[in-house]
Structure 1
Amino acid sequence: MSYENLAGRTALVTGAASGIGEAVAVELAAQGAKVALLARRAERLEAVVGKIRADGGQALAVVADVTDGASVDAAVERIHEAYGSVDLVVNNAGVMLPNPIEDARVDEWQRMIDTNVTGVLRVIGAVAKDLTDAAARGRSADLVNVSSIGAHVTGFTNYAVYGATKAAVTHLSALLRGEFGPRDVRVTNIEPGLTESELASHIDNDGLREQVGGMVDAMGTLSAAEVADVVAYVTSRPRHVNLRQIMVLPTRQA
């Protein structure tokens, strides 16, 4: 689908080596945006960038780790050198590591907090001035945070810490509207349900991995491209229109 108001914009997408992030980068580039793809896997990033360029789009691979502040700052500097300031940011990088809380997997807790919460904050801090400057010049400016239905589902056993990190992202998005909205920067929080991605591959608990597989079999999934279409839609609205909160699920997912 073709959307107006995305051509000529400069987008930064985190977690862009696969899944939703990759699909968002591909979709925004197809709509005419210059897209900087951030992730840790250089080879995978280059492959996605190659695909975008082969289709006539503009894309830049930027190897970066959102859990490292210096890495994020260096990535934004590289984007500035290549494309100038950013006016569309999609915070998508995330990790899901479920386990019973009594296992006390502090390493997993810390990794999820560092990636899903602090990583989001690092990126926002690094590009906030870009967004407010773009809006001050009369351009559309968007911050899109990809949260999860897990921010609300309390009966999803063994996902407490993951859900808590995503709830933090959802609440952060709401609070940031108070800071950014009056300066014409839109903040959108998107909460996907079951979606094709690599998240389940991170699970090291066989029983929980099988549980996810059973849910997929019973309810189906969204494709990453379908979530990317939502991102493209909300960021292409007239600049005075902010779709602030979107929950998108497979129809069978309650």
Structure 2
Amino acid sequence: MDRWVGRVALVTGASAGIGEATVRKLAQLGMKVIGCARRTEKIEALKNELKGTPGSIVAIQCDLSKEDEILAMFEKIRTEFGGVDVCVNNAGLGHPAPLLSGDTTLWRHMLDVNVLGLMICCREAYKSMQERKVDDGHIFLLNSMSGHRMISDGNSHVYSATKYAVTAITEGLRNELRAVKSHIRVTAVSPGFVDTEFILRMYEDEKRAEEVRNIRKNLQADDIADAIIYALQAPPHVQVHDILMRPTEQVS
């Protein structure tokens, strides 16, 4: 990780779960970490907790469903920090909204954050690296096992469709980066069940969410952050394209 010390990493959805764990680890390894979220109080608390670590943490408020806020965030990073060297597209959400009966507003929210917001961040991160002739940057996309297979629960089908899009975007980015002879790497991380707030938000029923959570020993946020670190610290000629991770007891 020595070559990343002092360089700038952007982590979206940084206020909880996988995003928070990733911010913590990158800062402890010496990076300048910018954490973005709609609410930044928890990022500020993490910053205070980690005072004295080799790296640093800055919180920026940003709603990834709004392009103007994303562009303003990247401009702020450009003027204050020079630009982005690592972009971890962690923000994502799921709503119980089946194909046959789902609310269009919920469909649109998932598409805006999980697909469009992610693509805008990837584009702007690449532009930031290109402008500064950064040829060894790294773009991460937090995908899901739901981006590789479908389950029968209709509540997850549109969420799964957005994650299948992330699978296609990952390969599309790799091909476009190769076409322009860039050595910027792209990595997707596709977890199964992770013990975070996502489960409660997805099921919108605390009792049902607890039942799902307690079926098995789920992955922890640190497990996913460790996978990101693994891919980031690989030698520059090694692109870890996709990491699929399940709890050992998960069925599909």
**AA matched with 1:147:** N
The 1:32/1:55 distance shift into structure 2, 3 A limit, reads closer
Instruction: Determine which of 128, 146, 151 is the counterpart of 2:147.
Output: 151
Listed one character per residue, the Cα deviations across residues 162-183 of structure 1 (whole Å, up to 9, x for unaligned) are 0000110111001110111430
Q: Which of 133, 137, 160 is the equivalent residue of 1:163?
A: 160
**Does 2:35 align with 1:37?**
yes
**Is the Cα contact below 8 Å between 1:29 and 1:58 reproduced in 2?**
yes
Structure 2: distance between partners of 1:87 and 1:4: 14
Aligned-partner Cα distance in 2 for 1:73–1:170 = 24
* Residue in structure 1 matching 2:169, options 134, 154, 172: 172
The one-letter amino acid of 2:234's match is R
SS at match of 2:215: helix
Post-superposition Cα deviations, 1:125-161, rounded to whole Å, max 9, x if no partner, equal 2221223356x455x3100000101112312412110
Deviates more, 1:61-70 or 1:211-220: 211-220
CA distance in 2, matches of 1:212, 1:204: 6
Q: Which whole-Å CA distance do the structure 2 matches of 1:132 and 1:242 have between them?
A: 19
* CA shift for structure 1 position 92: 0.6
Instruction: Give how far 1:11 is off.
Output: 0.2
Give the Cα–Cα distance (whole angstroms) in 2 for the partners of residues 195 and 5 of structure 1: 30
Matched, 1:230 2:250: no
Equivalenced residues, count? 248
1-side partners of 2:152 and 2:191: how far apart? Answer: 15
2:24 is aligned, of 9, 23, 26, to: 26
Q: CA RMSD in A?
A: 1.8
Residue 184 (structure 1) aligns with: 183
- TM-score scaled by structure 2? 0.91
Q: Who is 1:128 aligned against?
A: 126
Distance 1:117 1:179 in 2: 18
SS of the residue 1:102 aligns to: coil
Kept in 1, the 8 Å contact 2:94–2:202? The answer is: yes
The answer (yes or no) to whether the contact 1:88–1:131 under 8 Å persists in 2 is: no
Matched position secondary structure for 2:19:
helix
Amino acid at match of 2:188: N
5+ residue gaps, structure 2, are none
Contact 1:186 1:242 in 2 (8 A): yes
- Find 1:6's aligned residue among 4, 7, 11: 4
Structure 1 partner of 2:236: 239
Q: Distance in 1 between the 2:34 and 2:63 partners?
A: 14
Matched-pair contact (CA < 8 Å) for 2:10–2:36: yes
SS in 2 for 1:144: strand
Structure 1 length-normalised TM: 0.91
Shift of 1:216: 2.7
Is the 1:132–1:180 Cα contact (8 Å) retained in structure 2? Answer: no
What letter corresponds to residue 150 of structure 1 in structure 2?
Answer: S
Q: Which residue does 1:142 correspond to in 2?
A: 138
Local SS of the residue matching 1:229: helix
How far apart, CA to CA, are the structure 2 residues paired with 1:226 and 1:177? 25
Q: Which of 43, 66, 70 pairs up with 1:72?
A: 70
Gaps of 5+ in 1: none
Whether the 8 Å CA contact 2:199–2:209 is kept in 1: the answer is yes
- The C-alpha deviation readout for 1:193-252, integer Å capped at 9, x for no partner, is 11122112223653xx65553343222211101110110110111111100111011111
Partner of 1:249 in structure 2? 246
**Distance in 2 of aligned mates of 1:31 and 1:231:** 13
- Residues 31-66 of structure 1, C-alpha deviation per residue, up to 9 Å, x if partnerless? 111000011102222112222335453111110111
Q: Tell me the equivalent position of 1:203.
A: 202
